[in-house]
Each structure stands twice: as C-alpha cells, then as structure tokens.
Amino acid sequence: RGKTYTFKVSGGDVPAENARYHPFYITSSIAGGYEQLSPAQRAEEQVFAGINITKQDASGVQEFVATVQAPICLYGQTNTSSEATSYACYAESLDLSCGEDANIVDQAATLEWTPDDNTPDVVYYQCVTHRNLGWRIRVFDEGAVDVEELENLSSEGELEPAHETCDPDASGDDDDDGDDDDDDDDDGVCFPGEATVELRSGERRTMSSLQIGDVV
C-alpha cells in the first residue's frame, strides 16, 4: 500500500474482435467480466482501476468506459506447439515475438494504480469483456509481511517448477513403452488422483475429489 504500480497492457483494442479484445481492470471480483454483468451486479462490484463509470442510477451502472486497451500482443503457436506434452512445454513453444514488436510495445496501454488504506488484502486483475481470465493480487503494508511469507502466499511455496524436458526427442525412454522410465509398468499419469488443485474459492482439493462444475 502507498506505492504506485505501473501495468503495461496489450490486450486488444477492437471491440468487434471479441476473442481478441481484453480490456484490463482491477476489481474485487474473482471472476471479472464486468461487461457481462447486469447494471445491479456492476454496482455491487468494487472497481479499483481500469473502468470509468459514466452513468449510474438507482438500478445500477448503466454505462462505463474501459480505459486500459491497446493493440493486442498475440502469442502464436509454432510447429512444435502440437507436440507439447504439458502446459509448461506448450507455453515454452509459443512465439512471443510480439513482445519485441515496437509497433505494439510503443502503443501499450499504461495503468498506474496506488493501493491505499482502503484497498482490501486481495484484489483481482481481470478482463472487462470475458470472465475468469485473470487472477489475484495480494496487497499488504510495507514491512507487514516478510519475503518468505509473501512467497508462500503468492504461490503456496512452489515458486520453482519441477524441471521438465520439453524436447520431444529427449524422453529418456529406453524400453519403447512410451513412458519415461526403463521398466514395463505403465504407471505414468499426468494428473494423479492425489495431486491437489486450488479452486476459485481458494479451497484446495485432490484431483480425485473434483466434481463437474468445479472451477480451478
């Protein structure tokens, strides 16, 4: 709190291209998608930055302007993307060159935001036009949280991902059974039942206990 943070955003600026139009805002909503809400629902949501309300009456927020929009920096698939065996490898395979394109970088939207004493401990960065595309920002008073505790809050203590080889030709498999061990047991599972995930509510569950409709 009390410091000003600068966000550079290249999420799209052509409303007609819905799938490539992602104005950025900071909100109390864990789901976002301000545009999709009813006027009454918008009035209940606390917006901290990225939206200017231009018309509000007793029934809610009728009109608003999304202020953080700019030409999109669109990550592209490459010829190795289809061979990715995990999300981490897929992300590593993408073409990120738009982040070095001066025409896009120079036109990025800038949002400056200063959390204050009234800012909750947890807020969310979200897309104005689509739901569930952002995640959380933890806010704290300087000196109130030490570095180790902050890391645990931010990532449940898992800042460093397990080492993974994304080269499809370096599987380490010597027994031709398609898994990465050297025996004949087909025990490789991407998401074992005992693995845990975090729901949107913050609750953690094992994979085996997930139900249809749960949002992770």
Six-digit token pair at 181? 């061990």
pLDDT greater than 90 at residue 178: no
With b for 16 or more beta-carbon neighbours within 10 A and e for fewer, the 50-75 pattern comes to bbeeeeeeeeebeebebebbbbbbee
70-98 pLDDT, tens digit per residue, is: 999 999 999 999 888 888 889 899 999 99
Single-letter code of the amino acid located at 82: S
Beta strands 135-138; 5-9: pairing state: unpaired
Please state the φ and ψ torsions of residue 102, each to the nearest 5 degrees.
-60, -35
Cα angle 69, 4, 138; round to 5? 85
Q: How far apart are CA 18 and CA 131, in angstroms?
A: 13
The pLDDT > 70 percentage for the chain reads 81
Q: Is the pLDDT of residue 48 over 50?
A: yes
- Residues 148 and 154: their CA atoms lie apart, in Å, by 10
The pLDDT-based confidence of 147 (bands split at 50, 70, 90) is: confident
Which strand (E) or helix (H) includes residue 47?
strand 47-49
**How is residue 171 written in tokens?**
């599987």
Structure tokens given for 72: 């999109």
